[in-house]
Structure 1
């Protein structure tokens, strides 16, 4: 949601939100896939007594208990890798925020998990927007997020989940949005 990713015209701001298609998710999906495949092949090699690994000799493992444990960890890891790849493929959490003065509407859209609630949409009138709230929590698990506060006291998250954005970027985004909507910026 920086100036390069925010499409700003005179009357419309559209902010794309990166969901699960982040570099870190690709990295972990690849690492887990490779590691789990290695564990699974090691367990299978100890059972069949045929070396299926390109590095090392897994036929030296005794099937019970080492081969069974390696096979179990391999299957569990492959299931986790499958989950990670599906989340990336479905782009869970991805979407956009659109603030449109021409239509007088705010539209928040995100992709969710498959099912009846796959499309997560929120829409309201610009007049119903009460403020933009900044939420900053430092510490071991820092949280930095922007929220759209609506008059019925609901708070709709505007920033992506995961890596916290820098403080200056968060302040700039909040101030730009509050200025565009003509509402106060809270929480600073």
Structure 2
């Protein structure tokens, strides 16, 4: 008899966290688990179980798990609770295979090396022409090569108060004057070409 599957195909491959921990001594404290989803990265990603608080329901499917987390070779700060342990996508790393799983990779703390974000970006061409014309109208000297900068505005983790923002600012910082950012702004601006050319002509003629 042919089997017909209904619904979206899942990419999960494994067990839930509680299916694994419920069968281990002391709920697997000190053991290493990983997600199949994270095998797409070349760097190791895993969790080391540090504390377990089961709800002691009949099927032992619910509770809170706290662990040391390493994502793509970077150790996240502190002991963090699981957010998606209910997904059947986890597997236990046997003790005698833990070093093989790490494959000699040197794990470092997240934030040891900061990624520099750009502090400013050049104004769009149309805005630059408006600013140059505005300087002309005020009787100021206009240099066609002058660069007009606008500061980037980044959402602050103190404003949003989320875990992702905390980790983002732990890994990144805004470049100071004279520092070259690691991330370049590659935005493209599209304007009405004829109107832009008219403004350029207007600035040059004046």
Q: Normalising by the residue count of structure 1, what TM-score does the alignment of the two structures yield?
A: 0.31
Q: Normalising by the residue count of structure 2, what TM-score does the alignment of the two structures yield?
A: 0.29
Return the structure number with greater strand share. 1
Larger Rg belongs to: 2
Return the structure number with greater helix share. 1
